[in-house]
Structure 1
Amino acid sequence: MTLYVCGHRNPDADSILAAVATAELCRRTGHKAVACRAGAVPAEAAWALKRFGFSQPVLLEDARLSLREISLSPARSCRQTDTIFDALQSMNDPLRPYLGVTGGDGTLQGMVTRNDLSDIGMQDTALGIRLLQTARLEDIARTLSGTVAVHPDKPMHIDGRVSIVALSDHSVSRYEVKNRIVIVADSPEAQLRLIEQGAGLLILVWTDQVSAEVQQAAMEAGCPVVISGHGSMNTSRYLYFSVQIRHVMTPDPVTFHQDIYVQDAIREMRRHRFRAYPVVDEENRLQGFLETDAALNFQERRMIRVDHNEDGQAVRNGSLARVEAVIDHHRVGGFLSREPVFYRCEILGSTCTIVARLYLEAGIPLSGPMAGLLLSGMISDTLGFRSPTTTETDRQLAQYLAFTAGVDARELEQEILSRSGSSDLVQDLETDLKQFDIQGQDVRISQILTGALDRKDLGELQTAMEQYVQATGADLLVTAVTVLPLGGSCLLAAGDLASRLAEMTSSPSRVRLQEGLLSRKKQILPLVQAQLL
């Protein structure tokens, strides 16, 4: 199965670039992997991806699998104008006794199951009579492996009842055959008498020809004649299979759109308890069938978390995925797994540093573009190696990556950080925002990098924060506005717990820049925790 490598919600450059590099490492070691993102790609990450020739990771909005992403049973189908006999031939898999009924453009029009077809034989004769009234002459002949010997210009008039008559002239006279389908053997006398008595359709058995006299009488009476390829018993059985599917199908079956999540489909399936359900696309075209057994035994999405470990920071419904590995450099925030996982968490400046080390440890050569990509993530997350989270390992590895990539680290740093500064604090409030559970309290910390700051910006940001708290119900929102040229941050707070951080936060009327306050992980989060505990 595919591994989905994804960073946290509201991803920063380290999260995006680490996902891309980790997915490539998985592929290089023999695993099918896809790099994903749980939010928009920040400007510095977009620049780095383009600079070193990598595609942006795909957007993953939910950790649950949709029906589009799982293996469905084949989209076997028939047309409304196919006969029951045609459908039974297509329904040749005993494990999949069902078919979709589709139009010429592939759109779903109904569904038919073997149980639907068995109703014809199991229910009273009234159903069979009613269905045979709809049968077409050509369909009857084809179903009986026969031929139309006489095809009058007049419309066929049959009432759906079937008679198998004796061969003698005396016996024929005893039957009421007007407008009936009559199965008769190779007696021209009997055939003529049945036509005279008003039979609606003659089906001849045990013969391969029709006398000229019978043909003439049948044409004049408007009574079609079919020569069957079977004996009387099988002819009477197969006759009922000549009805078109549109008369026995379920016209409005319970269907699922291919983008619905498997868990949602399972909940709906429990209300109906059918064996299989058609799955359709946006144009209502049949894509396959979801079988109940397969749905109940499906495997969750397999994921690798990079640059985070907590469920609250993961892609939506991340706890429902099967986490195979975690590569992170943050605190362990209550991460639980159902099975053993690969867990790599180190006290380093960025997740990209850890991923670079994984390449080296696995003996996988780093290409120039990959080295440049990883170096870009390190520069972004450590603010050019100025953040207190930066370690000597980060600095040494950065030199190696710069040499391998053939780039000037200082020039790359200027390119990356010049794209990190925000000009609209309100717009970027949720761009790099993480959620934490502190003593059961919903605490969220946002960090915005900017090149300049004024009181008006802070006032608009404070208002936006208050609105965010009201909309989300968070207990506390802290925003660190990091002014890159000044090497420090202003902290703003909103929510019910904001008063407990009054001494350390700024306001539009009191701007307090805390020099050296750059790291959310190593400085800001511990400060907030200390005030709340």
Structure 2
Amino acid sequence: MKKPIFIFGHKNPDTDSICSAISYAHLKRELGYSNVHGGRIGEINSETRFVLDYFNQPIPPLFTNIKPQGRDLDYQTCPVIYEDTPLKTVWNFMRKDETAMLPVVREDGTLSGIVSLSDITYAYMELSDETILRKYCTLFSNLVEVLNGEIVEGVYPRDCIFGNVYTDSTLEEGLALSSGDIVITGHNKKLHQLALESGAGCIIVTGMEPLEKLEKQAKKQEVVLVQTPHTFYRTIKLMNQSIPVSAIMKAKDLVYFEEGDYIDEIKEIVQESKYRNFPLLNRNGQVLGMISRRHLIGFNRKQVILVDHNEKGQSISGIEQAQILEVIDHHRVADIHTMSPLYFRAEPVGCTSTIIAKMYKENNITPTREMAGLMLSAILSDTLAFHSPTCTEEDKKIAYELAEIADVDVEEYGLQLITVGSSLEGKAPEEIIQSDLKEFVFGPYKVAVSQINTTDFKTVYRIKESLLRVMENMGEERGYHLVLLMISDITLSGTELLVVGEGRELLDRAFGMGHEEDSLFLPGVLSRKKQVIPKLMGAVDES
């Protein structure tokens, strides 16, 4: 499966950010990129909700951060070791994979424990008495498998061994054994007879000499007869290797990680741990593989495409740790840094969706009615229905082409869209300010500029003091030198600018605003990108 690609716009997304992400993800899928996801990194506003409902589109998924996680590691896949897997099988896996630790899972694949090479070494050295197979509920089939044995006759009465193990040297005449007991013997007819008379339920014969007579006697007495090609000595040595791994594995205080854990957090725990290898689990607790310190050195960064922004402060948390494949934008080139070449497309148009619509045409792909409707909505929103100074003839041309595909009247739909977007009814001051807020860094100044488009100036003036208080609190909490709220009205063709913060000297140099003033009307100003941000940047250069 190809790595996923995440497409998203800026924080506090406007209609262009949302619609560009959705429509560009659709274009990418049309071009053959199967694992592409268009999303958002903030809550949608009422205008965007109206657009999505109008064109029957779901709200895109919310991406909270793009930091690398456990699932992004090149973890080591490992063989499946179940709780009843014999130690010999585990040992063979360790030798083959050259690893000193493996996870043990339950039947459903969830983590049960961890077994290490030292655990197996201990088992070989210490577990050697005649009760060992019974004590650890060893499967009879495990014993036969480990000995490379063949069941010549009979069926052991239970799945797990429930008796002790004896050798022919420990047998004495008159010794009464039970149906669960096992006797290991070589090719000695006298010892065979002694084993049969003992009452043991199973006889294991070493070597590959014919057993016709013993087989007939075992069948008559309903004794299980097993033959192994190994020598008597090796058979005894292999016996312990048939016990289940659950007998020796570590099952308490396990240190493991889940695929959703962030790599930064994993590193902290690994550095403080005495262990070197750790299981990695999926969200259901099933084992994906093992990770070690070396896996944390290099990891797969999440692949992302940025639309409608290219500024770190406006992007998702963890963007500096992601692999940025593309940027599609209509803003100034800002401070996004990349570790490898990328496709960067920025054009001086009024809307990112204008660029994306052009890319549909360049690839000879006609957008669906829904995608055309979303891109048209973004253009009308960003250009204030062509009233913004950022609007270009290309925006208008593309908009009318999209309107034909979407089967809507540009003027009628545009008025409907702007009306919905400009309504302040039922909105709290916090929601008004946060709905389209962007952060900027101009030299030593950290500035937040929010913008709303409305024809409801009466409501704005009525809640002006509440807006200023919220802005002051936001500035203190987030360390802004300035917080600006642009209240733009296309019917008046101007913007009322509300201001709080200690960096007011920028407003004095940019717009001639008095130091004690908290608001200023800017006639003819409707664009944050083209008419406010450049002025503020110029004011910094003058300082």
Counterparts of 1:172-321 in structure 2, within 5 Å, are: 183-187=184-188, 189-190=190-191, 203-206=204-207, 208=211, 227-231=226-230, 232-252=232-252, 253-272=254-273, 277-290=278-291, 296-321=297-322
Instruction: Identify the residue that residue 386 of structure 1 maps to in structure 2.
Output: 387
Residues 200 and 371 of structure 1, relative CA distance in 2, 3 Å threshold: closer
SS at match of 2:235: helix
Cα drift, residue 149 of structure 1: 6.5
Counterparts of 1:421-440 in structure 2, within 5 Å, are: 421=422, 422-423=424-425, 424=427, 425-440=429-444
Counterparts of 1:85-164 in structure 2, within 5 Å, are: 85=88, 87=90, 94=97, 99-113=102-116, 116-118=119-121, 120-121=123-124, 125-129=125-129, 133-134=135-136, 136=138, 138=140, 139-141=142-144, 143-144=146-147, 145-147=149-151, 158=164
SS at match of 1:79: coil
Q: Does 1:331 align with 2:332?
A: yes
Cα drift, residue 316 of structure 1: 0.9
Matches of 1:136 and 1:256, distance apart in 2: 30
Alpha-carbon RMSD:
4.1
Instruction: Identify the residue that residue 528 of structure 2 maps to in structure 1.
Output: 520
Deviations 1:95-140 (A, max 9, x none): 777653233444321133566435544xxx3245596553537243
Deviations 1:327-363 (A, max 9, x none): 1111112333222222211211111112122222333
Matches of 1:157 and 1:366, distance apart in 2: 74
Matches of 2:312 and 2:292, distance apart in 1: 31
Counterparts of 1:407-426 in structure 2, within 5 Å, are: 407-421=408-422, 422-423=424-425, 424=427, 425-426=429-430
Matches of 1:497 and 1:400, distance apart in 2: 45
Residues 432 and 273 of structure 1, relative CA distance in 2, 3 Å threshold: farther
Instruction: Identify the residue that residue 178 of structure 2 maps to in structure 1.
Output: none
Matches of 1:269 and 1:471, distance apart in 2: 34
Instruction: Identify the residue that residue 476 of structure 2 maps to in structure 1.
Output: 470
Cα drift, residue 395 of structure 1: 2.0
SS at match of 1:384: coil
Deviations 1:214-265 (A, max 9, x none): 999x99xxxx986342332442232122111112223244211121134543
Q: Which shifted more, 282-291 or 4-13? A: 282-291
Matches of 2:157 and 2:525, distance apart in 1: 96
Residues 530 and 137 of structure 1, relative CA distance in 2, 3 Å threshold: closer
Q: Does 1:495 align with 2:494?
A: no
Asked if structure 2 preserves the Cα contact closer than 8 Å seen for 1:12 and 1:42, the reply is yes
Matches of 2:72 and 2:27, distance apart in 1: 23
Q: Does 1:444 align with 2:426?
A: no
SS at match of 1:385: coil
Instruction: Identify the residue that residue 23 of structure 1 maps to in structure 2.
Output: 25
> Which residue identity does 1:515 align to in structure 2?
P
Asked if structure 1 preserves the Cα contact closer than 8 Å seen for 2:499 and 2:519, the reply is no
Matches of 2:376 and 2:73, distance apart in 1: 36
Deviations 1:171-206 (A, max 9, x none): x89xxxxxx986321435446768999999964324
Matches of 1:242 and 1:375, distance apart in 2: 70
> Which residue identity does 1:237 align to in structure 2?
K
Cα drift, residue 296 of structure 1: 3.8
> Which residue identity does 2:387 align to in structure 1?
R
Asked if structure 1 preserves the Cα contact closer than 8 Å seen for 2:87 and 2:120, the reply is yes
Deviations 1:490-518 (A, max 9, x none): 222333325754764899x9764433332
Matches of 1:49 and 1:152, distance apart in 2: 67
SS at match of 2:10: strand
Deviations 1:290-328 (A, max 9, x none): 466555443312222111111111111112111122111
Asked if structure 1 preserves the Cα contact closer than 8 Å seen for 2:360 and 2:366, the reply is yes
Cα drift, residue 90 of structure 1: 7.1
Asked if structure 2 preserves the Cα contact closer than 8 Å seen for 1:478 and 1:494, the reply is yes
Q: Does 1:65 align with 2:68?
A: yes
SS at match of 2:470: helix
Matches of 2:514 and 2:469, distance apart in 1: 15
Asked if structure 2 preserves the Cα contact closer than 8 Å seen for 1:2 and 1:31, the reply is no
Q: Which shifted more, 425-434 or 364-373? A: 364-373
Cα drift, residue 449 of structure 1: 3.1
SS at match of 1:464: helix
Residues 141 and 210 of structure 1, relative CA distance in 2, 3 Å threshold: farther
SS at match of 2:52: helix
Asked if structure 1 preserves the Cα contact closer than 8 Å seen for 2:500 and 2:518, the reply is no
Deviations 1:17-59 (A, max 9, x none): 1112222222333334321211122232233234334443332
> Which residue identity does 2:482 align to in structure 1?
L
Matches of 1:429 and 1:95, distance apart in 2: 59
Asked if structure 2 preserves the Cα contact closer than 8 Å seen for 1:203 and 1:228, the reply is yes
SS at match of 1:277: strand
Q: Which shifted more, 457-466 or 61-70? A: 61-70
Matches of 1:299 and 1:481, distance apart in 2: 43
Matches of 1:518 and 1:472, distance apart in 2: 26
How many equivalent residue pairs?
513
> Which residue identity does 1:101 align to in structure 2?
V
Matches of 2:453 and 2:272, distance apart in 1: 51
SS at match of 2:432: coil
Deviations 1:275-300 (A, max 9, x none): 75322244433344446655544331
Instruction: Identify the residue that residue 46 of structure 2 maps to in structure 1.
Output: 43
SS at match of 2:280: strand
* TM-score calculated relative to the size of structure 1: 0.81
Q: Tell me the percent identity.
A: 27
Q: Which shifted more, 469-478 or 198-207? A: 198-207
Residues 505 and 313 of structure 1, relative CA distance in 2, 3 Å threshold: farther
Instruction: Identify the residue that residue 84 of structure 1 maps to in structure 2.
Output: 87
Matches of 2:514 and 2:195, distance apart in 1: 102
Matches of 1:54 and 1:92, distance apart in 2: 54
> Which residue identity does 1:229 align to in structure 2?
T
SS at match of 2:24: helix
Matches of 1:514 and 1:257, distance apart in 2: 54
> Which residue identity does 2:361 align to in structure 1?
L
